[in-house]
């Protein structure tokens, strides 16, 4: 139930409301029980859908690593660092198309854009199974990067279109959990599909692309009916619940009209660029471990089949820890401290991988890395999402973050070299350095945001007018 504080009247909320400079709605009361019911419905009908969507996205992107240890390199005649180039080149078009497609996401609408993205990448994945040469593999990877580029930032933006600031991390963690589960199920699916080796005259790694691409295409068709564009078009809410869902988000700046000043504000805000640099370094180690973990484990002396299923518990641990951290992060409204803690585990893991030659110890180190790996890129993006307002500044900031961040994927594909197996000294060293830089920059980010909050506290005590827009409003407080 939504009602005015003076007169309970659901209809009045759309006719008589005062919107402040921050986008908040004054004099509106939202019944807590009704709000809980609405949030439960959003969690039930939206979160599982975008989790499955991103799970298959990352499966289709990272299955190259599983295909590698099952004969892709041999069958395509890849030599030297050609596999590394194929892994990295994906991020070239991924970065180029990211910002324009995220902007298009808002214009076209999620219910149309997400299915288009899904069906496009699934077709590319399917036809990757027909590659016969290095050149054709590069072409497919470039196309796949373009088709998948908007999905991750778009889904993070999508979360902010339905949940409040203090609710975002837990829901957005579903995307990070999907990434971790994709790593786990990627190994399981790969193991199962590889049993089809020779069926129809095709090796198992080709069936990996065929089947995963076909499943993603079917999900893309279903997505047209499963993704509402906004709370007002949510098929699972009644009229009263839709009005409530909108009212509770207006304070988040979601319904302010487009203004180029918001786009410019994002480009001028150093927080956006620092967040992007944190994401860049996080993606260097995160993308490399997701692609090369099967190879790292195989280098410990295990068979390719054993390497596939030994990745599973590492990713399951990462998913479980990330969900718990995101839940607590939302409750206490803090992001930075959890990023710092996760960084310690990751750096410890890479240090052990560099310093030990004992297979059991090195495998334990993989757990340390995956313990924190999903947390930093996931919470960093949530941190930016909750600290940017209004909506179009937020959308632009996420685009900047992901464009800079995913450039790290180009490096990620180049640092694990076959000639350095099984030690992979370059890969582990670069990943350790990248995590260290992320750790330092997180401290800097916390200092900047604390300084901004202190300045707003000073202005509030002096009785300054709250006439700023979005996160520049005196009443807006940055989450640390």
The mean pLDDT of 169-179, rounded to a whole number, is 80
Q: What is the pLDDT of residue 19?
A: 37
pLDDT single digits (tens) 282-308 = 999 988 888 788 889 988 988 877 887
Q: What is the pLDDT of residue 409?
A: 82
| Selected residue with higher pLDDT from 386 and 138 | 138
Q: What is the pLDDT of residue 364?
A: 95
Percent with pLDDT over 70 in the chain:
92
Nearest to 267 by CA among 137, 397, 95: 397
pLDDT single digits (tens) 38-73 = 999 999 999 999 889 988 888 887 788 778 878 899
Asked if the model's pLDDT at residue 16 lies above 50, the reply is no
Q: What is the pLDDT of residue 254?
A: 63
Q: What is the pLDDT of residue 353?
A: 95
Lowest model confidence (mean pLDDT) among 13-22, 330-339, 349-358, 396-405? 13-22
* Residues 294 and 311 sit within 8 Å (Cβ to Cβ): yes
> Rounded to whole angstroms, how far apart are CA atoms 42 and 49?
11
Neighbours of 251 (CB within 10 A): 21
Task: Specify which of 207-216, 240-249, 471-480 reaches the highest per-range mean pLDDT.
Answer: 207-216
* Residues 136 and 82 sit within 8 Å (Cβ to Cβ): no
Asked if the model's pLDDT at residue 310 lies above 50, the reply is yes
In the numeric block, which tokens belong to residue 387?
A: 């600290």
Asked if the model's pLDDT at residue 6 lies above 60, the reply is no
In the numeric block, which tokens belong to residue 82?
A: 């050609």
In the numeric block, which tokens belong to residue 389?
A: 């307002």
Q: Mean pLDDT score of the chain, rounded to an integer? A: 85
* Residues 294 and 308 sit within 8 Å (Cβ to Cβ): yes
Lowest model confidence (mean pLDDT) among 169-173, 338-342, 381-385, 386-390? 169-173
Per the rule left: phi > 0, alpha: psi between -120 and 50, beta: everything else, 253 is: left
3-class secondary-structure state, position 25: strand
Please enumerate in sequence order all residues whose Cβ is within 8 A of that of 256, keeping only pairs 6 or more positions apart, or say none: 23, 262, 390, 391, 392, 470
Q: To the nearest 5 percent, what fractions of the chain are helix, strand and coil?
A: 75, 0, 20
């Amino acid at each position: 139930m939504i009602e005015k504080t003076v007169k309970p009247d659901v209809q009045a909320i759309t006719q008589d409301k005062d919107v402040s400079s921050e986008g908040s709605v004054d004099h509106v009361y939202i019944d807590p029980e009704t709000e809980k019911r609405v949030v439960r419905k959003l969690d039930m009908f939206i979160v599982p859908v975008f989790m499955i969507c991103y799970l298959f996205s990352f499966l289709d992107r990272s299955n190259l690593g599983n295909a590698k240890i099952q004969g892709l390199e041999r069958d395509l005649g890849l030599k030297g660092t050609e596999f590394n180039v194929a892994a990295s080149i994906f991020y070239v078009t991924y970065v180029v198309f990211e910002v324009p497609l995220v902007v298009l996401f808002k214009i076209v609408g999620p219910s149309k854009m997400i299915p288009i993205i899904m069906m496009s990448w699934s077709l590319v994945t399917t036809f990757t199974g027909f590659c016969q040469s290095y050149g054709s593999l590069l072409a497919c990877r470039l196309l796949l990067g373009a088709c998948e580029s908007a999905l991750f930032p778009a889904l993070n933006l999508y979360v902010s279109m339905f949940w409040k600031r203090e609710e975002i991390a837990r829901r957005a963690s579903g995307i990070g959990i999907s990434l971790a589960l994709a790593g786990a199920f990627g190994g399981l699916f790969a193991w199962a599909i590889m049993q089809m080796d020779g069926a129809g005259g095709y090796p198992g790694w080709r069936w990996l692309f065929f089947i995963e691409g076909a499943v993603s295409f079917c999900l893309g068709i279903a997505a047209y009916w499963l993704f509402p564009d906004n709370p007002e078009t949510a098929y699972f809410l009644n009229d009263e619940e839709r009005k409530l869902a909108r009212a509770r988000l207006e304070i988040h700046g979601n319904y302010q009209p487009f203004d180029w000043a918001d786009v410019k504000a994002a480009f001028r805000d150093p927080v956006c660029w620092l967040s992007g640099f944190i994401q860049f370094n996080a993606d260097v180690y995160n993308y490399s471990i997701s692609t090369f973990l099967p190879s790292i484990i195989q280098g410990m002396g295990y068979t390719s089949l054993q390497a596939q299923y030994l990745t599973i518990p590492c990713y399951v641990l990462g998913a479980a820890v990330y969900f718990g951290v995101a839940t607590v992060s939302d409750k206490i409204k803090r992001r930075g401290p959890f990023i710092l803690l996760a960084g310690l585990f990751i750096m410890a893991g890479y240090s052990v991988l560099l310093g030990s030659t004992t297979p059991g110890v090195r495998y334990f180190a993989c757990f340390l890395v995956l313990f924190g790996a999903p947390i930093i890129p996931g919470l960093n993006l949530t941190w930016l999402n909750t600290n940017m307002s209004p909506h179009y500044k937020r959308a632009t900031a996420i685009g900047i973050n992901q464009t800079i961040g995913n450039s790290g994927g180009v490096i990620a594909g180049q640092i694990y070299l076959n000639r350095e197996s099984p030690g992979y000294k370059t890969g582990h060293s670069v990943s350790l350095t990248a995590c260290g830089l992320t750790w330092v920059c997180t401290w800097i980010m916390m200092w900047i945001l604390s300084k901004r909050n202190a300045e707003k506290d000073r202005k509030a005590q002096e009785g300054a007018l709250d006439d700023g827009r979005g996160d520049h409003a005196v009443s807006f407080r940055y989450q640390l």
